Amino acid sequence: MIQTSFGYLTLLFFITSTILYITAQSKAKLFNYLPAIVIIYFLVMVLSSLEVWTKTDEINSTYKAFKSNLLPAMIFLMLLQADIRNIFKLGKKVILTFFLASFSISLGFIITFTLLHSYFDADAWGTFGALSGSWMGGTGNMIAIQSALNIPDSAMGNVLLIDSIDYAIWVMILLTLVPFANRFNQWSGASNALLEQIDKTTDQEKESTALSFETLFLVLSLSLVVSFLTQGIASYFPHSDFFSATTWTVILATILGVLGSFTPLHNMKSSAVMGNLFLYIIVALIASRANFGELTQAPLYIVSGFMIIAIHATIMVLFAKLFKIDLFALGVASLANIGGVASAPILAGAYHKALIPIGVLMAMIGYIIGTFTGLGVTKVLKLIGG
C-alpha cells in the first residue's frame, strides 16, 4: 500500500512510460483501436480502485499540486505548434455543436428525472439541478446553483459522486473513440479536410526541426515559468463562480501559447515531446482519483448519471448524422460541458495539439451559461418532482 507522494508519482510515471513504450514498439493491431492514453487511464483507474495507493493528505496535496501546475504548462507547450488560421476555420460549427451538447444534456436530465424521480427523496430535484449546472458549465456553476437554491451541503454528496464516477467513465469512453474518428466521420458525412490540413502542416514542420537536449531543457523550463507566472497573475484577477483562479490561469496560458506560436518556438520539436509528456501525466493523475468501488454507493444516482449521458450521446449522434458533424466536435463539445476547462483541452489535444484552443473556448462558454441553463433545468425538475 503506497502512502507517500514519491511512491505515488513513481508508480504513475512508471505505468505511463511502460505503456507508451510497449504500444510504440508493438506491431499489434490492437493498439490501433486501443491507444496508449486509454490503456493508461483504465489501468490507473483499476489500481486506484484496488487502493494500491491511499489517498493520504500528502498524496492528495501532491495530486492537486502536479495537476494544477502541469495543466497550464501543457497547454502552453502544445499550443506553440498551433496554426491559428486553421483553428479559426473550425470555430463556427464547433461552437454550435457546443450548444447542441448543452441542449441534449438538459433533455437528458429532464427525461431521466421524469422516469426516476419517484425513487428519490422529495428534494432530489435540487440535487440534480446542481449537477446540471456542473455538467453544462463547471464546479463554480454547481456551487452557484447550490447557493441560489439553498441546497444543504449534506445533499451534495450524491452530486459529487455522480460527477466523479460517471464523468471518469465518460472521459475514458471519449478517449477510446479517438482512433475511430475517420470511420465515424465517413458515416456522418463530415469532412476531415481541415483536420488533415492541420496534421499535414504540423508534420511538415516537424521534419524541418531537430530534437536536442538543449531545446528540450529550454522548453521544459519555459513551460514551468509560464505555469508559475500565469498562476501568479491569475490570483490578481477578479474571481467569481464563473471565473476561478484555474479558469484565468488556463486563459492566460492559452493566450501565451498562441502568441508563442508566432515565434521561433513554433518550430521546436521539443515542445511537442514535452507537451505530450505532460498530457499523459495529467491523464494518469485524473485516473488516479477514480474508483470503481464507489459504483456501489448510491447506485441509483450513478445509474441516473449514465442515463443522462446515454440520452445526451444518442441525441448528439443523431444530429451528427443530420448536420454532418465530426467526432472531434461532438466529443470536445460534450466534455467541455461535462468536464469543463480542465479536461476539454485534453481531449482536444488527443485529436491534435493545434485544436486545444477549441476545447478552451467551448469550456469558457460553459462557464458563462452554465448557471443560467442549470437554473432553468432545475425549475423544470422541481415541477416534475412537485
- C-alpha torsion 275→281→282→285, nearest 10: -170
Name which of 164-173, 199-208, 365-374, 375-384 the model is least confident about.
199-208
Answer left, alpha or beta for residue 324, where phi above 0 means left and psi between -120 and 50 means alpha.
Answer: left
Name which of 6-10, 57-61, 150-154, 382-386 the model is least confident about.
150-154
pLDDT given for residue 194 in this prediction = 56
pTM, two decimals, is: 0.69
pLDDT at position 209 over 70: no
pLDDT > 90 fraction of the chain, expressed in percent and rounded: 27
DSSP E strands: which ranges in 50-183? none
User: Which range, 42-51, 88-97, 250-259, has the best average confidence (pLDDT)?
Assistant: 42-51
Name the amino acid, one letter, at 369.
Answer: I
Grid cell 461535462 in the structure block, residue: 338
Alpha carbon distance 121, 59 (integer Å): 35
User: Are the CB atoms for 312 and 172 separated by under 8 Å?
Assistant: no
Alpha carbon distance 385, 120 (integer Å): 9
**What's the 3-state SS for 295-361?**
HHCCHHHHHHHHHHHHHHHHHHHHHHHHHCCCHHHHHHHHHHHHCCCCCHHHHHHHHCHHHHHHHHH
Query: How many DSSP H helices and E strands does the chain contain?
Result: 17, 0
Name which of 163-177, 219-233, 279-293 the model is least confident about.
279-293
